[in-house]
Structure 1
Amino acid sequence: MIRIENISKQNSHRLLFIEASAALNKGEKIGLVGPNGAGKTTLFRMITGEELPDEGQVSTEKNVSIGYFNQDVGEMAGRSAVAEVMEGAGPVSTVAAELRELEAAMSDPDRMDEMDAIIERYGEVQARYEELDGYALEGRAREVLAGLSFSQEMMDGDVGKLSGGWKMRVALARILLMRPDVMLLDEPSNHLDLESLIWLEDFLKNYDGALLMTSHDREFMNRIVTKIIEIDSGSLNSYSGDYAFYEGQRALNEKHQQSQFERQQAMLAKEIKFIERFKARASHAAQVQSRVKKLDKIDRVEPPRRRQTVAFDFLPAPRSGDDVINIKNVHKSYGSRVIYEGLDFMVKRRERWCIMGINGAGKSTLLKLVAGTTQPDEGSVAIGASVKMGYFAQHAMDVLDGDSTVLQWLEESFPKAGQSPLRALAGCFGFSGDDVEKRCRVLSGGEKARLVMAAMLFDPPNLLVLDEPTNHLDLDTKEMLIKALSAYEGTMLFVSHDRHFLGALSNRVLELTPDGVHQYGGGYLEYVERTGQEAPGLHS
């Protein structure tokens, strides 16, 4: 359906693609992977025709419809979320708009003389609308929005009043409702809670068109894609299988290439030694010449390109007392909305609690109560002896000084640390080379979040309270964070929609439901096994 043939592309001074080729065939579900800045978004833009390759071509079969979701959702206001979603449904939305105009014209007294023509046209347009299944469209739009966790109230409210994350969901819903022949989804799993993520996973598994997507959620990717296209130093490499298969295959390929390289180097060293030893002897001149020629003709094996794998050993956290958090008989409401009625919850040293619950169940509120950024209406929240808390929330980025560079801000935060460990820390969280000279004010939301987390973990507290810590992390940085936190000796209380993160780090689960609060010994994987569901809002 889509062919990428020998494309080369340069962005400013950066070569993104060099004679790269790949294909997206009917019904294929492909994960597009590569480090940040490798050219994933540029590739999407070349497929949609928003950008052109410098050389080569990207061709799409005739009459193939493409739906492209990216993080830049543009302006949305003045319409309900449902209307905004239906607007993206292709030809049917144009027909619906004409129907609305004709309905208005039929009740306009100034147009009585045109009424016969209007009524005739209305009949034609209505027939076309029925043919396109237009009357079922609104129901389908509401179904998709409900799957992405919208309440009826939000569906009918002005889309302009929604936050950026919810507008992203509206933009995603437009593409899903459109059901094009090809979906290009750039990070569709960002900004989704666990229930929406699992709903989207099922939707995409059952979608019969072709799919090309990026995602920083390995579990999500593993369950949907059956092929991986990797952008690696300008090439497009295809692997048949899911993300886990690709990781294993890539490691095997690198190992194989390394041993080929080492064998060839050993052979070359031997030949060069012979040439050096006998080049001055006339009796060996013919042999030396023949070996020199042979060396010139050999195809040199390159060593595998070393990926920048980041690893960081966090300093050990100071020991806290055994009772870390004690919540007694806490009541909390926002207006008429009751969040907790008599919540009791105790956290002991070295426990790692993940908090589960649908949107609005009070997950973030619980973290805010523990962090002291909100107070209970009744009851008490006590933090234990010698507890040093680190709290990562979405607004944590407010602590950054916009005029400082990344490195300056880290140096101000840790005046005794010295540049070398701070540069290493910055590198772990995706600020390599000149990135440390960026001013904090020009950083994206994701970069700010990574910087704040880096600082928090450099001087680790013995209690980490984390609200969606992986939202803006790519797969490699997330993997580094999981490794580092696995070795962390302190106590953790966290909310995350990343199942890999939940499974790797939790050893207790607190589930907030309308029927009350449930506690589970054992981590997220045991919770799934015991309840038969991956999130509280799903009932299998």
Structure 2
Amino acid sequence: MIKVDNLSYSFPQKNLYNNISFTLEDGQHCAFIGTNGSGKSTLIDIIMDPEKYMYDGSLEIDPNCRIGYVRQFQELDKTKEITVFEYLAEDFLKLQNEITAICTEMETSSDIDILLEKYQQALDAFEAINGDDFENIIDKKLNLIELIKYKYLNISELSGGEFKLIQVIKAMLTSPDLLIMDEPDVFLDFTNLNALKNLINSHKGTTLVVTHNRYLLNHCFNKIIHLENMELQEFDGGYIEYNFSLLQTKIELQELAAADTEEIERTEILIDKLRELATENAEQFRGKTLRARVKIKERLEERRIKAPFVEIKEPNIIFVTANEVEEKTVLKVNDYNVAFDEVLLENINFEIKSTDKVAIVGSNGTGKTTLFQRIIKNDDPSIEIDKDIKIGYLSQLQGQTLNYSNTIFEEFFDIGFKTRDDIKEYLEGYNFDEELLNQKIGTLSGGEKNLLQLAKISETGADLLLLDEPTSHLDTYSQIALEKAIKRYKGAILMVSHDYYTIANCMDYVLLIKDKKIRKININHFKDIIYANHFDKHYLKNEEKKKALETKIELALRDNDFLLAQSLSEELEPIIKLLQN
């Protein structure tokens, strides 16, 4: 269906691809993964509109391929009064009206032949998208995600997560041969994420989905395309199996690399000795032996193992407090209420201690971000913040904390860095190379913008972190790095998130919003809720075991203990099989 062959493409400040190749076959469900800023969305844009880009190599798409596309960002037009059904049926109704208009024109026209041709073309297009049964198809899709009750509701009344699902349904309705989606999971609550999983798995055609969501990756795909360090590799199989394969490859390659390093070091010692002997005694054979050894060393260095997919750098996220931590209440909310057209939250009461790590959890549209905004503004008598603490804020609306017209260099110079070298050295820890420092922040990927927010928070220090969907857009490696930073942090955290991995791994307890109220629940209770709605009760436990063993393998590799690494890998294999079931 798609064939990419030796494709290369560069931005002015960055090379994105170097002779990458892959194929996408009919019926495959493919996850497109890679670190933030590696060029995934740009490659999607090239596939969607190849004429717009000057690239080397070739891109072939089946000329009869119908493509459905869900963009990463699409604003909801609040002013357009249109129901969910009208929005979903738009393409069908347009063709239906066209057919009716042609029939009406045929009643009075003398040029029947041209009209008959137009009529047949419109009819063929209508049949190609199963137009005769379109309302039933719409109802089935809405039932699948449990949104049938919203069929005649205005689009403007939907939450952001609900509208995203409706976008996915619309892209699917015309039965595209290829469905492309760019991070369709961002900001979806648990229920809507599960609905998205069901939609992806129900699609009979080919899918290509850019996602970092671990739940979708583990449950929706039978092919992985991994873009990293300007190179790409394909894997026929699921994400869990792919990660295990990468780890096994890493053990094997690192052992080979260690052997190469030892051989190079031995050769260097021998070359040094031969140089000394050649200096003391200029016999011809010693010169020949020296040159031969130098060539051996050069060959060893040339063949030294290169493994771009197993040397992925996690960003070095470190949160520090602005003041010495002391036990006290840093945030108190008393009888807080918020209402727009209707009441969202009423009589909300909770408090956060100086070392608490707390997640606010609730369905899309329940008022979590609104509450966050009021805390940030600190202008509501129901909200009390300790006057002696410093707050760090990560916004899901990234333009609130980042100046899109700034370059990365300007943004960090503005917060107190003195020199370009200081900024360069600091941001290397967040995987930003020097050539990116002059790039405008507005041109960065969503994940890169979130990493910059985290880098700013890390540098300035804070006693209370307010994190609004911090894992959104972040690649899986950055998500793991963020979890490590949260665990190490000594201050307080209040986090809005739908990422149950991060919540289960890092939070002390959860504030659950339901029926306009908020209640405190412990992490085990939270896990029970997730188990009941998403997967069996052993899933997260097996995930934790998997992660613990992977960490032990990394430590064994760091010590070049390859026997232990291989033994741990064998211990990991049955857990991988359990997670695949």
Using the size of structure 1 for normalisation, the TM-score is 0.77
Shift of 1:346: 3.3
For each residue in 1:80-131, what CA deviation from the matched residue of structure 2 results, as whole angstroms up to 9, or x when unmatched? 354443446xxxx3xx43432454677x7x986469x899x99998899689
On the 8 A contact 2:181/2:208 being kept in 1, the answer is yes
State the match for 2:358 in structure 1: 353
CA drift at 1:50: 1.8
Tell me the equivalent position of 2:474. 473
Counterpart CA distance in 2 for 1:329 and 1:16 is 52
Aligned twin of 1:538: none
SS for the counterpart of 1:532 is helix
Q: CA deviation at 1:200?
A: 0.8
**Aligned-residue offset at 1:34:** 2.7
Letter in 1 for 2:385: I
Alignment match, 2:385: 383
Q: Which of 213, 218, 222 is matched with 1:217 structurally?
A: 213
Kept in 1: contact 2:317–2:455 (CA 8 A)? no
2:22 is the counterpart of 1:22: yes
- Using the alignment, how far apart are the partners of 1:217 and 1:171 within structure 2? 18
Measure, in 1, the Cα distance between the counterparts of 2:254 and 2:148: 51
Q: Does 1:202 align with 2:202?
A: no
- Is 1:40 the counterpart of 2:40 in the alignment? yes
Alignment of 1:368-517 (within 5 A): 368-373=373-378, 375=380, 380-384=382-386, 386-395=388-397, 397-398=399-400, 400=402, 405-414=407-416, 422-429=423-430, 431-438=432-439, 450-514=451-515, 516-517=517-518
Cα gap change, 1:277 to 1:69, in 2 (>3 Å): farther
CA pair 400-24 structure 1, distance change in 2 beyond 3 A: closer
Structure 1 residues 290 and 363, CA gap change in structure 2 (3 angstroms):
closer
The residue matched to 2:138 in structure 1 has which SS?
Answer: helix
Question: How far apart, CA to CA, are the structure 2 residues paired with 1:385 and 1:134?
Answer: 62
Q: Distance in 1 between matches of 2:301 and 2:287?
A: 24
Quote how far apart the aligned CAs of 1:247 are.
Answer: 4.1
Whole-angstrom CA distance in 2 between matches of 1:478 and 1:391: 17
Residues 339, 345 of structure 2: 8 Å contact kept: yes
How many angstroms apart in 1 are the aligned matches of 2:239 and 2:353? 36
Equivalent in the alignment of 1:333: 339
1:488 positional shift: 0.9
User: Offset of 1:260 from its aligned partner?
Assistant: 4.3
Is 1:97 aligned with 2:122?
no
Q: CA deviation at 1:425?
A: 4.4
Residue 427 (structure 1) shift? 4.0
SS at match of 2:302: coil
Contact 1:323 1:385 in 2 (8 A): no
CA 1:274–1:232 in structure 2 vs 1: closer, same or farther (change >3 Å)?
farther
User: Secondary structure at the residue paired with 2:495?
Assistant: strand
Pairing of 1:29-178 with structure 2 (within 5 A): 29-48=29-48, 50=50, 56-60=57-61, 63-71=64-72, 80=82, 81-87=84-90, 93=92, 96-103=93-100, 113=108, 133-141=130-138, 144=141, 157=154, 170-178=166-174
Partner of 1:314: 319
Gaps of 5+ in 2: 535-581
Amino acid at match of 1:206: S
Unaligned runs of 5+ in 1: 536-540
Structure 2 CA distance for partners of 1:414 and 1:242, relative to 1, 3 Å: farther
C-alpha displacement at 1:495, in angstroms?
1.0
CA shift, 1:72, in A, is: 6.0
Following the alignment from structure 1 to structure 2, what is the Cα–Cα distance between the partners of residues 178 and 271? 70
Task: State, as a whole percentage, how many aligned pairs show the same letter.
Answer: 23
- Residue 342 of structure 1 pairs with residue 341 of structure 2: no
342-351 or 441-450, which moves further after superposition? 441-450
Which residue type is aligned with residue 205 of structure 1?
N
Cα 1:505–1:179 change in 2 (3 A) is farther
The RMSD of aligned alpha carbons is 4.5
8 A Cα contact 1:356 1:509, kept in partner: yes
CA distance in 2, matches of 1:74, 1:372: 25
Distance (Å, rounded) in 2 between the aligned partners of 1:443 and 1:57: 26
Cα deviation for residue 245 of structure 1 reads 4.4
Residue range with higher mean Cα deviation, 482-491 or 313-322:
313-322
* Rounded Cα–Cα distance in structure 1 between residues aligned with 2:519 and 2:230: 50
Shift of 1:259: 1.8
2:576 paired residue number? none
Deviation of the 1:508 alpha carbon: 0.7
- Give the 3 Å change call, closer, same or farther, for CA 243–326 of structure 1 in structure 2: same
Match of 1:302 in 2: 304
Structure 1 residue 311: deviation in Å?
A: 0.8
Cα 1:221–1:384, aligned 2, differ >3 Å: closer, same or farther? Answer: same
Q: Tell me how far 1:529 sits from its aligned partner.
A: 2.4
SS at match of 1:489: coil
Counterpart contact for 1:464–1:491, Cα < 8 Å:
yes
Tell me the secondary structure at the aligned position of residue 367 of structure 1: helix
The one-letter code matched in structure 1 to 2:414 is: E
Give the direction of change, closer, same or farther, for the CA distance of 1:320–1:219 in structure 2 (3 Å limit). Answer: farther
The one-letter amino acid of 1:392's match is: L
* Cα pair 1:321 1:387 within 8 Å, conserved: no
For residues 144-187 of structure 1, the C-alpha deviation after alignment (integer angstroms, 9 at most, x for no partner) is: 4687797966965367x999987765543332323433323222
1:528 aligns with 2:527: yes
Contact 1:149–1:195, Cα closer than 8 Å, also in 2: no
Give the residue type in structure 2 aligned to 1:358: S
CA distance in 2, matches of 1:282, 1:402: 66
Q: 1:70 to 1:111 in 2, by over 3 A?
A: closer
Does the alignment pair 1:272 with 2:264? no
Residue deviations 1:422-448 (CA, integer Å, cap 9, x gap): 544444455431433345666677655
**CA displacement 1:352-375 (0-9 Å, x = unmatched):** 221121123222233344445564
Q: TM-score, normalised by structure 2?
A: 0.72
The secondary structure found in structure 1 opposite 2:513 is strand
